[in-house]
Amino acid sequence: MRHGIATALAAALLLLHTSTATAQFEPPVLTDVPLHIDSGELRSSNVNRSAVFSKLLHVPGAATMRLHFADLKFGQATGDVLETELRITALHDGAQQILNVESARQWGWSSAWFNGDTVHVELIADASASPSRIRIDSATVALAQPETDGSRTICGADDDRLLSTDPRVGRVISNGCTAWLINDANHCLLSAGHCTGSGFDVIEFNYPISNTQGIWQHAHPDDQYVIDPASLQAVNGGTGNDWAYFGCFANPQTTLTPYEAQGAAFTLAAIAPPGDERTIRITGNGTTNAMVPLEFYRAQKTHTGELIASVGSTLSYDVDTTGGNSGSPVIDETTGEAIGIHTHGGCTSNGGANVGTASINAGLLTALANPLGVCAPPIPTLEFTFPGGVPTLLNPAGDSITVQVVGLFGGTLDAGSVVLQFDSGTGFTALPMVQIGANLFQANTPPLPCGTVASLYVSGSVVSKEKGSMTITEPATAPAQVIKATAAQFLDTAFADNGEVDLGWSVVNVLPLDGGAWDRGVPAGGGDRGDPRIDFDGSGSCWLTENANGDSDIDGGPTRLISPLIDLSSFDDPILNYARWFFTDTPGGGFEFDHMEIELSDDSGQSWQPVDFISQPTQWVEKSIRVADFVSLTPTVQLRFSAVDAATPSIVECGVDAIRIFDVECTPPTLGDVNLDGAINVFDLLIVLNNWGNCDAPCPPSCQADITNALGTGTDCTVDAFDLLLLLSNWGG
């Protein structure tokens, strides 16, 4: 050990040592083993939730393994059921990971790391779920022997490191580097910049020591966390400027973040201490050789020594480290604070020093002040909902619209900012919304000529200390996307489809189509390749092109979605409403480019009239079209949505939702004509009696048997004697 080194001499030695220091980066030996496993599309044949795919996967000679998926399709189910899951279990120790579509996406379509050479892979699905599929193309394995330690930097004759279990310190699995939790806003992590790069994706905590053969063992998947790539900020600039700042997603099983699970984090020193020979500690996951037991290999170990020098943002010290210690915290034993990140080795049995980047590094401080991804403070948000349902019908004499604030997070609501933006054809006007209850707001719409189609959306501000004031709208993309409401006594609906049930559509694929055919379900792609992240109307499902994650867009085509026959022969002037989604990464301007086309037919599909054409990317857009402008109102009207990938290569994704064809009725129905068939008779009476009591439907605006409410003469939302008297007084119609 050194004693009495003058500050000036320490600085000189630091410059000498850092000139010969090498990054302590010694990644483990990992091998990619190709696999060719394809379940094909499967669905449950049982009445209960069960495994639709089950396979033991064995990789001879593997000490540990991680699976990589070429395709994962999680079947979607309707109703109150559990989602489809992928379950992987290691036979070696019983460790298990369960992934759903969201966590599988976060994990980069790969699994956690498992110990041993055999895992059991299962797809678990509900009996009502749509088909699922798994394709495994490879596994990354660690060979059943430790790699050679070629860059030991022990500050003396012996490796004096001892096993430790600091809960704040983790291990980067792909390269063995060290990372550790800090007390920033969201308790993210620090490591060395030169540890980042390809494969820097999974951190584990609470990992065991290696086995008696020196083969490192992984933590249970509950203690493994995938790095959020959007959060990573790093510099690999050599000694004194080598750092990485990042965060991890919550664990898919425990739903805990690393800090929530570990319960401890380091405090960073705001001032770099002088090089005054104070005692410091380094805890990390260095490699070993025959000097110490094989179980110490890449296990968490710790050692103390002297801080030799501190110049600028560079630290030097005589603490034992080896490859794999890169990224370790440099801890001041006096204060317990982390004063830097260990990055480079320079110690030898003949002297020298190991080197780290101080916590006062200017670039690191800038990154800490501007966190990204999961490290950033939560963005304040809220959601507006309509307790009586989304308003699609307005009373021409004036109506009231009520919204409720839910999901308020990360801030406080500015109640005075809540307004209804309303446009009846002359531009948007802000109508104040009066608070009428806990998180309930209401606005009154002006009188409108019957048949007027109005556009509306709600906006309000949420305020937070970190983000200031942010305006939230419903719909979220307003005013690009708005709610359409028609001023009318009632709407006579010929056809309505929100995507939740297949109403008899057909899909016709025109060659050459290699993939991306129309499909129905809850969007599964996550929006990462131009596909919709959610449906348009909030019901859950919609029609979209091949509902699967990954490379599932349209290739070739067109693929055509054709409605069942719709009888419009008794309708006066029906309106077609629909919401469409179109994405292409090679936009053009005509049929020779990627496009989507909407057509109508009045002769069972013998001929088609184009009504809408899209070749430029858009998110959800709602359209209204007067049907009689394009086709005759026959009993055999059909609707067709065609999507085609005409450019090679390109990504094309399409979606359709909230399809309705209806007539606007401006003559109020006779009181008591509940089923609107033009007569008041026993059929209307049966509807009233069968619904006696409180309305099951949202009220207002709709409850078929509540005659007083449905016709605007009352808002009691109850089927009672008043409704019965109105019906009987007009018996016969």
Among 375, 408, 435, give the residue marking a domain's end.
Answer: 375
Q: Is the confidence at residue 400, as pLDDT, over 70?
A: yes
> In this structure, is residue 642 part of a structural domain?
yes
Residue 280 has pLDDT above 90, yes or no: yes
Residues 6+ apart with CB under 8 A from 391: 399, 401, 456, 483, 485, 701
Greater pLDDT, 610 or 479: 610
pLDDT for 563 equals 96
What are 193's strand-pairing partners?
none
523, 522, 542: which is closest to 533 by C-alpha?
523
CB atoms within 10 A of CB 587: 16
Do 111 and 251 have their domain in common? no
What tokens were used for 276? 């005054």
The pLDDT value recorded for residue 669 is: 61
> Would 593 be classed as within a structural domain?
yes
Pairing of strands 178-181, 189-191: antiparallel
In a domain, 276, yes or no: yes
Q: How far apart are CA 478 and CA 475, in angstroms?
A: 5
Any domain includes 1: no
Instruction: Name the phi and psi angles at 522, rounded to 5.
Output: -75, 125
Q: What is the C-alpha to C-alpha distance for residues 478 and 389, in angstroms, rounded to an integer? A: 18
Same domain for 201 and 264: yes
The three-class DSSP label of residue 250 is: coil
- CB atoms under 10 Å from CB of 449, counted, come to 10
Opening angle at CA 461, ends 455 and 463, nearest 5 = 165
Q: Are residues 228 and 169 in the same domain?
A: yes
- Does residue 726 surpass a pLDDT of 50? yes
Contact 372, 231 (CB under 8 A): yes
d(CA 300, CA 288): 11
Contact 276, 332 (CB under 8 A): no
Amino acid at 700: P
Confidence at residue 714, expressed as pLDDT on a 0 to 100 scale: 46
| Residue in the block written with tokens 């499902």 | 541
State the Cα–Cα distance between residues 12 and 21, nearest whole angstrom.
Answer: 14
Structure tokens at 85: 């899951």
The pLDDT value given to residue 35: 93
pLDDT class of 488 with cuts at 50, 70, 90: confident
* Predicted pLDDT at 10: 43
Alpha-carbon distance of 685 to 536, in angstroms, equals 37
Query: DSSP assignment of 166-182, as one string?
Result: -TTEEEETTT--EEEEB
Residues found in the chain: 733
Contacts of 71 (CB under 8 A, 6+ apart): 133, 134, 135, 548, 549, 550
Contact indicator for 135, 57 with CB cutoff of 8 Å: no
DSSP state of 132: B
Instruction: Give the pTM.
Output: 0.59
Same domain assignment for residues 136 and 177:
no
Average pLDDT over residues 334-346: 94
Domain boundary among 467, 488, 509: 488
Out of 375, 407, 437, pick the residue that ends a domain.
Answer: 375
Find the distance separating the first CA and the last CA of the chain, reported in whole Å: 106
**CB under 8 A, 24+ apart: contacts of 708-713:** 710/674, 711/668, 711/669, 711/671, 712/395, 712/397, 712/668, 713/671
Residue 311 lies in a domain: yes
Can you say whether residue 229 is alpha, beta or left, with left for phi > 0 and alpha for psi between -120 and 50 degrees?
Answer: alpha
Token duo for residue 83: 């989602």
Averaging pLDDT over each range in 77-86, 381-390, 437-446, 636-645, which range is the top one?
Answer: 636-645
* Alpha-carbon separation of residue 12 from 6, 277, 316, 472, 671 (angstroms): 10, 15, 11, 58, 98
Give the residue from 661, 612, 603 showing the smallest Cα distance to 632. 603
Do 97 and 253 form a contact (C-beta atoms < 8 A)?
Answer: yes
**What is the model's pLDDT at position 2?**
36
The pLDDT-based confidence of 148 (bands split at 50, 70, 90) is low
Query: Is residue 698 pLDDT above 70, yes or no?
Result: no
Residue bearing tokens 């999507």: 643
Q: Is 295 part of a structural domain of the chain? A: yes
Per residue in 542-601, pLDDT (tens digit) is 999 888 877 777 888 899 999 999 999 999 889 998 989 999 888 877 777 888 999 999
Segment holding 140, helix H or strand E:
strand 133-143
457 DSSP β-pair partners = 421
For 57-71, 154-168, 269-283, 451-465, which range has the lowest pLDDT when averaged over its residues? 451-465
Query: Side chain identity at 430, as an amino acid letter?
Result: A
Q: Are residues 449 and 317 in the same domain?
A: no
Amino acid (1-letter code) at residue 469: S
Residue of 662, 661, 684 whose CA lies nearest to 671: 684
CA pair distance 561, 525, nearest whole angstrom: 20
Please indicate, yes or no, whether residues 129 and 167 belong to a single structural domain of this protein: no
| Residue 672 belongs to some domain of the structure | no
Q: Given this model, what pLDDT does residue 238 score?
A: 93
CA 527 to mean position of chain CA atoms = 8
Same domain, 153 and 236: yes
What's the CATH number where 396 sits? 2.60.40.10
* Inter-axis angle of helices 721-729 and 682-690, nearest 10: 180
d(CA 156, CA 280): 16
Instruction: Look at residues 588, 583, 575 and name the one whose alpha carbon lies nearest to residue 621.
Output: 583
Task: Indicate if the alpha-carbon torsion angle 432, 438, 440, 442 is positive or negative.
Answer: negative
- Number of Cβ within 10 Å of residue 423's Cβ equals 15
Amino acid at 517: A
Tell me if 674 is assigned to some domain: no
CB atoms within 10 A of CB 418: 24
| Domain tally, the chain | 5
Closest CA to 410 of 377, 376, 380: 380
Phi, psi torsion values for 142, nearest 5 degrees: -100, 130
Residue 408 and residue 314 share a domain: no
pLDDT at 144 over 70: no
Q: Which two tokens stand for residue 136?
A: 């495994």
Q: Could you tell me which of 397, 162, 149 has the C-alpha nearest to residue 289? A: 149
The range of the structural domain enclosing residue 703 comes to 682-729
* Predicted confidence (pLDDT) at residue 406 exceeds the cutoff of 90: no
Inter-residue contact 321 to 284 (CB < 8 Å): yes
CA distances from 235 to 194, 513, 564, 685 (A): 8, 46, 59, 77
Nearest to 727 by CA among 675, 673, 677: 673
Asked whether residue 232 falls in the same domain as residue 270, the answer is yes
Q: Pick the more confident residue, 709 or 31.
A: 31
Mean pLDDT of 216-238: 95
DSSP 502: -
Give mean pLDDT, residues 143-152: 63
More confident residue, 609 or 408: 609
Residue 265: strand, helix, or coil: coil
Q: How confident is the model at residue 9 (pLDDT cuts 50, 70, 90)?
A: very low
In this structure, are 635 and 711 located in the same domain?
no
> Taking the CB of residue 331, how many other CB atoms lie within 10 A of it?
26
Q: Answer yes or no: do 515 and 538 share one domain.
A: yes
Omega before residue 479 within 30° of 0, cis: yes
Q: Is the pLDDT of residue 430 over 90?
A: yes
Tell me if residue 220 falls in helix, strand or coil. coil
Both 338 and 445 in one domain: the answer is no
Q: What is the CATH number of the domain that holds 60?
A: 2.60.120
Q: What integer pLDDT is reported at residue 18 of this predicted model?
A: 46
3-class DSSP string for 36-104: EEECCCECCCCCCCEEEEEEEEECCCEEEEEEEEEEEECCCCCCCCCCCEEEEEECCCCCEEEECHHHH
Tokens standing for 68? 């990589």
pLDDT reported for residue 1: 36
- pLDDT tens per residue across span 79-122: 656 889 999 999 999 999 999 988 999 999 999 999 999 999 99
- CA dist 280 and 271 (Å) reads 15
Asked if residue 162 lies in contact with residue 99, where contact means CB atoms within 8 angstroms, the answer is no
The yes-or-no verdict on residue 78 having pLDDT over 80 is no
